[in-house]
Amino acid sequence: MSEPMRPADPASVGGFRLLRRLGAGGMGVVYLGRSGAGALAAVKVIRAESAADDEFRARFAREAQLAARVESPWVVPVLGADADAPEPWLATAFVPGPSLGEAVAEHGPLPGSAVRVLGALLGEALGAVHGAGLVHRDVKPGNVLLALNGPRLIDFGIARAADDTALTASGLVIGTPGFLSPEQARGDQAGPAGDVFALGCVLAYAATGRPPFGTGTPDALLYRTVHDEPDLDGVAGELREVLDACLAKDPQDRPAPEELRRLSEDATEDAVPEGATASPSAWLPDPVARTVAARAAESLALPAVEPTVVDEPGDAASAARRPLTSRRRLLAVGGALLLASGGSGAALWAAGRDDPGAKPVPAAEPTYVLGVQVTRGGADAALARACERAARLAAAEHNADPRRAYSVRVRVLDDGGTVDRATSVAHEFAADRDVFAVLGPTGEVTLRAASRVYAAAKLTHVSSTTGQNDYYVWSPDVTFQTGAPHQAEGTAIALSALVTGRMGRAGIVIDRSGGSAMHDQGGVLVTQWRDTFGGEVVPRVVAEGTGDGAAAVRDLLSRDLDAFVYLGPLEATADAARQLARAGFTGRRWMSHLLYGSDFPRLAGAAGEGWYAVTPAVDPAQLTTGEAGRLTAAWRKEYGSTPEPYATEAYDSTRMLLQEFARTVPSGGGRPARPALAQRLAKATYHGVARTYTFNDYHQYAITNETLGGETYVHQVRDGRFRQIGPIVPKQGSQ
Amino acid sequence: MGGRRPVLLAAAGALLLAGCTSEGTPGEGTATSAGAGPSGRSGASPAPSASAVNDAYTLAESAAPRTRAQAAAFVRGLTVRPDFFGPGYRKRDPYETGPGTWTVLGEDCVWRREPLAGTVLASLTRSFVRPDTDGKGPVFVSLTVTVHTSVVGARRDMAVSLEEPLRCPRQQLNATERVQGMTSRGDPYDEQRTATSDDDLAEFGEYVVDGDGKPRRFDWFKHRLGPVTVAATVRHAVGADEAEKTKVTQDALGGVTFVTADIDRLGAEQAKKAGVSGDAAEGAGDE
């Protein structure tokens, strides 16, 4: 990642004044430099000890010479190199990016016309690389930067001359799993055809938002690359034909890179509407073009020469994270996010995107960034969408206020639901000095992973969709949770039972396949139902991955129950619903609060009718208060629907962050210190659409007996949908 | 790249007691870091791309004992020293119980020693005591290693253990002694909570002896490694204060982890002998 210059860093190399560090690797350091003429450059300086080896210097010199011979507008040009300097260096033009990986992660798949332009131009670029006698060997979304007039292929860091067999005799796999050819995956020598295969992967990724061989461990990716067919679902027509050819397992069957040119012949036709003038950026969709333009503008604002930075006392961590939009940084981002964006939700996303938060703002106005960390794929896709939309709407409302002192931009990153990617995403936000707070993560595991990073970076974040407070052990300052604890939702079921009838005898299944949240909720439910409210319980805990839920339900059906609770994952709960329906059970039935908004009504069909979900998640369209009506109307205007489940809580959380952040911004302007927001938030009271938020000692939404009754909502499945009946204990005049 | 610097799972070994107890106010969760076991884990230096999920103590089904005789030899062969659980412990008399019987909580909420179930190959309990030296009373620790016929069988046993305090808020141990008020949590390793093995269960409650004025604190841990479970109970000294109890709990949990680490190592060696790579065996533990 990029950092300010350190005292030991050289002030200049080969006529380039060095401005800051873009990154450091095993071989040396990459700096952002400025030539005497003022052009920005990425200057790679090899450490003396790495260059001690004569063979290395020879290879470096050859690489630089060959790279300098590449002539293509779509390949980043070499500006200079010196293999004989005590510390050899290589300078290439600096492209502010973003990388293709970052663009897709942030904005979703590119439209077909853009993918075809991308394919044609990158094919041309590879043709020029191969023509110069080089094989790139690491063509991937992170190595493709986007500029307004076309892509740029970068990073010859591991490029080798095609006739240099000695360097690959080791059989080491060189490249990035998931974006390298079957022959490279097997450790065989990679020729130009390997680059064509990798380009096919890159284009598939750009078109679908998914790496064509999925995500996972390098070993799994390599295996799938060799043995499986690529995932090209959703790619059709000529692009499909070209990708099929590029991704042929046999290198002999792949086209020459120049042959991809045919992709562009009709691409420009749909890229430019008839009668319109083609602007230079017409090949990119608007949101991506805006990002590209913003990056370019930021790099223009870099100082001619920046003095070595001395850490601010007491906040060394934030001093090390000075702003940077640099090629190396974008490289890193591209690499991380590329893997992060494998979710199937990505395509869906692009289709329904609306981006009210990204309207251009006057250049003089300060802009702060609200990060949104979500898991777009899998079961949490809907949750992610609600959070992203809520953040964008809240930011747009802020930006529409003429009295604002600054504008707010929303930046969304997908953490793929895994520890590694959640950690990477958090590092990415932490390193962006403009990010003042983050909404998310959306899942318990990603929250635990990311909160460690945010704690170290003192970056405040609020998770509105989780209910476990483990984070407090390692992140007692900056992590907040506006989602209610799962335990409280156990009490909520018992309380709703008490309010709606006699307690009676409840069969309660805790299905461990649903994760530890099921036990959080179920354990409390059992004790509350029995010990606090005086009912009877027959509890059953079902082992994970056994399918024993059905046997537990069968057993409970023989126990003369008045009520039934199944706390488990979606499919198992729907199965239980069908089992109860077949048995003619007519007592009250509850599912886990986590299934509110899920596909349960459709999956369970008629058997799901009448089931309850009790949750703090509100449907504001069913409330009559002014705030709920205002949000519902704004949402409908922006997104064409009423606010979806969990949208209101994400919206409240974003507004609370914005409100408290505003109070930390110094009146004379300037950037507030990051820890200030968390300190305010810990003491804040925020009146949301349907809930009042304060935090307890563990930075968890402070639920009280009153809010548990009055601000927790009973939803019932009716006519195949969740219908909000009202709060457990209706407040006078609220309904 | 610096930005992908791994953040160490600083609290990975810490036992986190989060959530409300049966008598607690909903939402007022308590989060207490109650110390870490021995950190023999390699989790301190994961590569940025390495997933901590692969680090659970586990035992591949293929490396586990297959017959009752093998299982009995396995549970007897484990090294379990009294000082695993902290200074001052010694073996109780009788020291070992099993391996052909185990304890079962009946429908009537009474614990009884019974012959092994068909899905269990061996179960051996070792008992330890830290004698009273300061007038606060002795501490009793037991450790039970159980070999199930399959991973699924062991998972079901973990579910049974979680169900017990829910269906029996008072569990009778014998005519005069019982445990009560147990709250529990079960943490699968892949949820990144506090688990060190495939699945860690922890329960906390009270140990009551009829005629005694004051209940003692009672802890129960049960960790699953593939088809094997390692359970420990701790009956605290009646006169110990909170800090002393926390220390005793930490130390005892450390003893459990010595044993689970040993089983993990034995399994990896066994797999290597059988020609399977250690990594594959590790990953195969649960699936």
Inter-chain touch A431–B20, beta carbons under 8 Å = no
Domain ranges of chain B: 57-283
The CA distance from B15 to the nearest CA of chain A, in Å, is: 10
Question: Which one of A53, A54, A82, A138 is the catalytic residue?
Answer: A138
The CA distance from B14 to the nearest CA of chain A, in Å, is: 9
**What CA–CA distance (Å, rounded) separates B79 from B262?**
8
pLDDT at position A697, please?
92
**Which chain B positions have a beta carbon within 8 Å of A515's beta carbon?**
188, 191
pLDDT at position B140, please?
97
Asked if A459 has any chain B CB less than 8 Å from its own CB, the reply is: no
Nearest CA in chain A to B165: A523
**What CA–CA distance (Å, rounded) separates A167 from A169?**
6
**Span B211-231, pLDDT tens digits:** 887 899 999 999 999 999 999
Nearest to residue A592, comparing CAs of A537, A518, A526, A525?
A: A518
Asked if B29 has any chain A CB less than 8 Å from its own CB, the reply is: yes
Asked if A24 has any chain B CB less than 8 Å from its own CB, the reply is: yes
Structure tokens at A128: 């020029």
Nearest CA in chain B to A709: B26
Inter-chain touch A539–B166, beta carbons under 8 Å = yes
Nearest to residue A410, comparing CAs of A454, A450, A373?
A: A373
Which mean pLDDT values do the consecutive 10-residue runs of chain A (735 residues) have? 72 82 72 75 78 73 76 82 82 81 86 87 89 82 82 66 35 66 80 90 92 82 85 88 91 89 63 40 71 64 38 34 33 29 28 36 72 91 94 95 90 93 94 94 96 96 95 95 94 92 92 96 95 94 96 96 97 97 96 96 97 96 94 95 96 97 82 90 94 93 86 96 92 50
The CA distance from B214 to the nearest CA of chain A, in Å, is: 22
SS3 content of chain A, % helix, strand, coil (to 5): 45, 15, 40
pLDDT at position A688, please?
95
pLDDT at position A26, please?
58
Asked if B5 has any chain A CB less than 8 Å from its own CB, the reply is: yes
Inter-chain touch A487–B26, beta carbons under 8 Å = yes
pLDDT at position A351, please?
27
**What CA–CA distance (Å, rounded) separates A203 from B97?**
65
Of A162-176, A319-333, B42-56, B103-117, where does mean pLDDT reach its minimum? A319-333
Q: Which residue has the higher pLDDT, B130 or A218?
A: B130
Mean pLDDT value across chain B:
80
Is residue A713 within 8 Å of A727, Cβ to Cβ? Answer: yes
Asked if A143 has any chain B CB less than 8 Å from its own CB, the reply is: no
Asked if B184 has any chain A CB less than 8 Å from its own CB, the reply is: yes
Q: Place domain A12-271 in its CATH homologous superfamily.
A: Transferase(Phosphotransferase) domain 1 (1.10.510.10)
Nearest CA in chain A to B160: A541
Q: Which CATH class is domain A486-615+711-727?
A: alpha beta
Is residue B116 within 8 Å of B123, Cβ to Cβ? Answer: yes
**What CA–CA distance (Å, rounded) separates A195 from A11?**
37
Bridge partners of A374?
A414
The CATH number given to B57-283 is: 3.40.1000
Is A138 one of the annotated active-site residues of the chain?
yes
Residues 6+ apart with CB under 8 A from A302: A19, A32, A40
Q: Which residue has the higher pLDDT, B45 or B257?
A: B257
> Which CATH number is correct for A354-479+628-693, 3.40.50.300, 3.30.565.10, 3.10.580.10, 3.40.50.2300?
3.40.50.2300
The CA distance from B76 to the nearest CA of chain A, in Å, is: 28
Inter-chain touch A431–B3, beta carbons under 8 Å = yes
pLDDT at position A45, please?
82
Domain ranges of chain A: 12-271, 354-479+628-693, 486-615+711-727
Strands B228-235 and A461-463: unpaired
pLDDT at position A28, please?
73
The answer, yes or no, to whether ipTM is higher than 0.90 is no
Terminal-residue alpha carbon distance, chain A: 53
SS3 content of chain B, % helix, strand, coil (to 5): 30, 30, 40
Inter-chain touch A485–B29, beta carbons under 8 Å = yes
How many A×B Cβ pairs under 8 Å? 174
Asked if A546 has any chain B CB less than 8 Å from its own CB, the reply is: yes
Q: Which residue has the higher pLDDT, A215 or B163?
A: B163
**Which chain A positions have a beta carbon within 8 Å of B169's beta carbon?**
527, 530-531
- Buried residues in B178-196 as b, exposed as e (16+ CB within 10 A): bbbbbbbbbbbbbbbbbbb
pLDDT at position A156, please?
63
Residues 6+ apart with CB under 8 A from A1: A23, A321, A324, A328, A329, A332, A427, A431, B1, B2, B3
Annotated binding-site ranges of A: 44
